Amino acid sequence: MSPLLPLTTSPQSESELLAQAQRLAGYTLGELAQLAGLATPRDLKRDKGWTGVLLELWLGASAGSKPEQDFAALGIELKTIPIDSAGRPLETTFVCVAPLTGNSGVTWETSHVRHKLRRVLWVPIEGSREIPVGERRVGSPLLWSPSEEEEHQLRMDWEELMDLIVLGQVERITARHGEVLQLRPKAANSKALTEAVGASGEPILTLPRGFYLKKNFTGALLARHFLIHQD
């Protein structure tokens, strides 16, 4: 059996990417970090993006922090998703930063959210806090595109949230808005303000916002594909 090695170039096909992701299933994060010559953090409080960076390295992702998909040539986005012992997501999933200005004429078809979620490689990872970071195992990957019903759910929420942004109601949006997609502040600190539109159409400063998939959406997605029983 050939030794496990990170992809040094971007995968050339979906099948190559999926095959590499399948090879990682069953390994712990600590094993993968050691094989790649990376240190494993004690916890992820200060290194929230570490797991994603580790998987990007192993899978040959090219985008880095650029606003395109992680595997731009294949049109595929990589999403690691922490799960509990029953295979249920432990947290919401960040999709992309929400545009708070310059939204006239923007549609779901041309939206960044739709672009990012058109084709996703989901990699579930054990995320229970009692398991040390280095001992958390990587699960079987799933290559997914939204079904008609899923796309409809996403579109309805996106349109509702974007309407509120355009109408100057961004400060009134809470995480409870949206059935499957929510808008939440995304900033390292409360000083990182960005421009938005106020209730009377005036420019205001507010915290940057991000679109996140709710756990009910990703939970149903994983349950359907991995035949997990949901309560």
Instruction: Kindly report which listed range (137-141, 202-206, 211-215) carries the lowest average pLDDT score.
Output: 202-206
Q: Is the pLDDT of residue 160 over 50?
A: yes
Q: What's the predicted TM-score (pTM) here?
A: 0.90
pLDDT tens sequence across 50-100: 999 999 999 998 755 556 678 988 999 999 999 999 999 999 999 999 999
User: DSSP secondary structure string, 167-231?
Assistant: TT-GGG--TTSSSSEEEEE--SSTT--EEEE-TTS-EEEE--EEEEE-HHHHHHHHHHHHT----
Name the band, by pLDDT with cuts 50, 70 and 90, for residue 131.
very high
Name the band, by pLDDT with cuts 50, 70 and 90, for residue 227.
low
Q: Report the C-alpha gap between 216 and 227 in whole angstroms.
A: 15
Backbone φ/ψ region at 136: left (φ over 0), alpha (ψ -120 to 50), beta: beta
- Per DSSP, the three-state class of 71 is strand
Mean pLDDT of 214-221: 96
Cβ proximity of 193 and 167 under 8 Å: no
Residue 219 pLDDT: 96
Which domains occur in the chain, in start order? 14-226 (3.40.600.10)
In sign, the C-alpha dihedral spanning 47, 52, 53, 54 is positive
Ramachandran angles phi, psi of 164, nearest 5°: -65, -40
